[in-house]
Amino acid sequence: MRDIDINDYDYDLPSDRIAQYPVNERDRSQILIYREGKIVKDTFKNIDEYLPSDSLLVFNNTRVIRARILFQKDTGAVVEILCLEPLSPFDYSLSFSSKESVEWKCIIGNLKKWKGGALSTPFKYNGNQYNLFAERLQSDGEEWCVRFSWNCFEISFGEVLETTGHIPLPPYINREDDQQDIERYQTVYSRIKGSVAAPTAGLHFTDYVIEKIKARGIKTVELTLHVGAGTFQPVKAKNIFEHEMHCEHFSIDTKTIELVLENMGKVVPVGTTSVRTLESLYWLGVKLIQKPSGTISDLSLGQWEAYDMATTVSVKESLGALLKYINERNLIFLQAATSIMIVPGYEFKMINGMVTNFHQPRSTLLLLISAWTGNKWKDIYTFALENRFRFLSYGDSSLLLR
């Protein structure tokens, strides 16, 4: 793996192949099917015809927040603040429900125009006008701690964001967000607020498709991983070991872990976020087995930890350790974090296929696809380009089966 050169994971992506808008109907997008080395194409609404009939589909039910807030100064300059994750209160739900000031880790655009002091932007609630204030605190590299406060004590921070914020479309979508993005940049099953990017493989599913899937005896479960802005960060270092992977937080309940365990050999995650979560679960269980006195602080997986842990632990033993951990502490669900970077040479433990969109050149997600397909990504992407598939977040989809 130390010989992996990111230049080998580059390809020419014409700008006109990057979808700037979603298709009119979610399930009318194209889908590429890769199975046993063969590639075919179809319409997404027919995905049930290609999934093994006893599969377990794993959805990421995170919901994108209106994390992009614009503050216009008296000079006319606009400072953009992108909310990444809560710092105080640290819990997402507590932060969104707070009616007092909150602090978030943020990225600040046009920072040079913010010399100091508080910024403000107006918003309306119940016919009255109020203001949201932002104070810049300390920095950590390119990220800042920003304190938000507002002069309306009847409204929570989550409601303030819904009123003032914008949908944070990816940087390669060259337009401002509009009304349709409020609905279309969410999956139909999104429930838990916290992402600054959509788990885009799920954008193609409709209630109709989900009912078709269930009618074929295919089971579904949900987990939550809040997608961070780091998902768009390209690998700039030539050697992947010099790339710092972003950390993302996830939660998963006991029932879901039990269903995954019962259906091993049949698990098909929807999206790379679900893939990373499921694979991280295995390694977190291994960590608990190898360190029985582990604490909640151990439920975090570093970028290369999976490659450093020599183990013969089975999936049953690993997930069993996690279930024991949850039950002994009377937890409702497991909360953890992962920075796992899946690259060619990684040995998958949990999954038997995946539904995913087409990813950027030189990206960690393309490395993951290469790891899963045995480095057949070039064949898949060449087929997609030659057959006019649409790429990236609002683009078409693929089903990659072993």
Q: Among residues 192, 155, 203, which one has the least CA distance to residue 62?
A: 192
- Mark whether 78 and 12 lie in a shared domain: no
How far is it, in rounded angstroms, from Cα 202 to Cα 187? Answer: 6
- Tell whether 229 and 343 lie within a shared domain: yes
Judge if 103 and 211 occupy the same domain: no
Residues 225 and 337 in one domain: yes
User: In this structure, is residue 366 part of a structural domain?
Assistant: yes
Range of the domain at 125: 68-166
8 Å CB contact between 95 and 148: no
The answer on 225 and 142 residing in a single domain is no
């929570």: which residue's tokens?
Answer: 156
> How many separate domains does the chain show?
2
Q: What b/e readout covers 324-360, taking b as 16+ CB neighbours within 10 angstroms? A: ebbeeeeeeebebebbbbbbbebebbbbbbbbbbbbb
The answer to whether position 49 is within a domain reads yes
Residue 177 in domain:
no
Q: Which of 166, 196, 223 delimits the end of a domain?
A: 166
The pLDDT value given to residue 255: 96
**In the listed set 133, 166, 199, which residue is the last one of a domain according to the structure?**
166
Per-residue confidence (pLDDT) for residue 229, from 0 to 100: 79
pTM for the full model?
A: 0.94
Same domain? For 260 and 143 the reply is no
Report DSSP state, residue 189: T
Which of 235, 157, 200 has the alpha carbon at shortest distance from 354? 200
Cα–Cα distance, 22 to 156 (Å, whole number): 31
pLDDT in the model for residue 239: 83
Same domain (yes/no): 230, 276: yes
Domain presence at residue 192: yes
Instruction: Give every residue of the chain whose pLDDT is below 70, as ranges.
Output: 1-2, 293-298
**Same domain as 353, residue 211:** yes
In a domain, 171, yes or no: no
Q: Which residues of 83-97 are buried (b: 16+ CB within 10 A; e: fewer)?
A: bbbbbebeebeebbe
Whether the bond between 168 and the residue before it is cis, its omega within 30 degrees of 0, is: no
Q: Which DSSP state fits 246?
A: P
Residues 289 and 152 in one domain: no
Question: Tokens for 155?
Answer: 């409204």
Whole-number pLDDT of residue 298: 65
Please report the DSSP string for 329-387 in residue order: TT-SEEEEEE-----TT----S-SEEEEE---TT-HHHHHHHHHHTS-HHHHHHHHHHT
Assign residue 335 the CATH number of its domain. 3.40.1780.10
Q: What is the pLDDT of residues 192-217, one digit of tens each?
A: 999 999 999 999 999 999 999 999 99
* Residue 387, beta-bridge partner list: none
Q: Are residues 52 and 142 in the same domain?
A: no
The alpha helices in 165-253, defined as continuous H runs, are 179-184, 207-215
Do 38 and 77 lie in one domain? The reply is no
Cβ contacts of 272 within 8 Å, gap of 6 or more: 201, 354, 356, 359, 365, 368
The residue whose two tokens read 């914008």 is 166
> Is the domain of 235 the same as that of 358?
yes
